[in-house]
Amino acid sequence: MGAKRVWSTTGVVALTGALLLTSAPTASADYVRDQQWVLDAFKMDATWALTQGEGVTVAVVDSGVDGSQPDLTGQVLQGKDFTGGGSAKEDVFGHGTAMASIIAAHGHGAGNDSGMIGLAPKVKILPLRTYQKENDKNPDDVWSEAVRYAVDQGAKVINLSFGADGGKTSSEGREAIAYAQAHDVVVVAAAGNTGAVAVEEPAALPGIVSVGAVDEKANRWVGSNSGKGLTLMAPGVQVLAADPESSQGYSLSDGTSDATAFVSAAAALVRSKYPDLTAGQVINRLIKSASFLDHKELKAPDREYGYGILRPNKALTMDIPKGPKNGPLGQLPSNTESKTGSATEGTEDGSTQANEQDSSSRLPILLIIGGIAAVTVIGGIIFAVMRSRGNRGDGGPGSGGGTPPRGTGYPPQSSTGYQQYPSSASNQGYPTPQGQSPQHPNHYAQQPPYQGQ
Measured distance CA(282)–CA(293) in Å, rounded: 21
Q: Is 302 a catalytic residue?
A: no
- Predicted confidence at residue 417, as pLDDT, reads 30
* Of 101, 226, 253, 257, catalytic: 257
* Of 63, 95, 108, 224, catalytic: 95
- Predicted confidence at residue 72, as pLDDT, reads 98
Side chain identity at 342, as an amino acid letter? S
Confidence of residue 1 (pLDDT cuts 50, 70, 90): very low
Over residues 104-141, the pLDDT tens digits come to: 999 999 999 899 999 999 999 999 999 998 888 899 99
Higher pLDDT, 169 or 420: 169
Over residues 384-393, the pLDDT tens digits come to: 333 332 332 3
Cβ neighbours around 378 below 10 Å, total: 10
- Predicted confidence at residue 166, as pLDDT, reads 63
Confidence of residue 89 (pLDDT cuts 50, 70, 90): very high
Q: Which residues contact 437 (CB under 8 A, 6 or more apart)?
A: none
- Beta bridge mates, 214: 220, 235
What's the rounded mean pLDDT across residues 317-323?
97
Q: What is the CATH number of domain 7-339?
A: 3.40.50.200
Measured distance CA(394)–CA(97) in Å, rounded: 74
423: left (phi over 0), alpha (psi -120 to 50) or beta: beta
Contact 128, 5 (CB under 8 A): no
In 172-329, beta strands by DSSP E = 186-190, 209-214, 232-235, 239-242, 250-253
Measured distance CA(229)–CA(177) in Å, rounded: 16
Identify the sign of the CA torsion 232, 238, 239, 242: positive
- Predicted confidence at residue 300, as pLDDT, reads 86
Instruction: Return the closest-CA partner of residue 293 out of 433, 423, 102.
Output: 423
Higher pLDDT, 403 or 186: 186
Q: Give the residue extent of every domain in the chain.
A: 7-339
Q: How many residues does the chain have?
A: 453
Query: Which helix (H) or strand (E) is 155 found in, with range?
Result: none
Q: Is 440 a catalytic residue?
A: no
- Predicted confidence at residue 238, as pLDDT, reads 96
Measured distance CA(419)–CA(62) in Å, rounded: 32
Higher pLDDT, 376 or 173: 173
Report how far apart, in Å, the C-alpha atoms of 139 and of each of 13, 53, 165, 202, 240 are.
Answer: 13, 31, 12, 12, 28
* Of 8, 40, 62, 253, catalytic: 62
Confidence of residue 447 (pLDDT cuts 50, 70, 90): low
Contact 124, 156 (CB under 8 A): no
Over residues 190-210, the pLDDT tens digits come to: 999 999 999 999 999 999 999
Confidence of residue 444 (pLDDT cuts 50, 70, 90): confident
Q: Is 108 a catalytic residue?
A: no
- Predicted confidence at residue 343, as pLDDT, reads 33
What is the DSSP secondary-structure string of 351-371? HHHHHHHHHHHHHHHHHHHHH
Higher pLDDT, 294 or 377: 294
- Percent of the chain's residues with pLDDT above 90: 59
- Predicted confidence at residue 51, as pLDDT, reads 98
> Is the pLDDT confidence value at 453 over 90?
no
SS (H, E, C) 309-348: ECCHHHHHHCCCCCCCCCCCCCCCCCHHHHHHCCCCCCCC
- 28-47 b/e (C-beta count within 10 Å ≥ 16 → b): ebeebbbbbbbbbbbbbeeb
Give the SS3 label for residue 257. Answer: helix
Q: Could you tell me the pTM of the whole model?
A: 0.74
Contact 285, 261 (CB under 8 A): no
Over residues 157-167, the pLDDT tens digits come to: 999 999 876 68
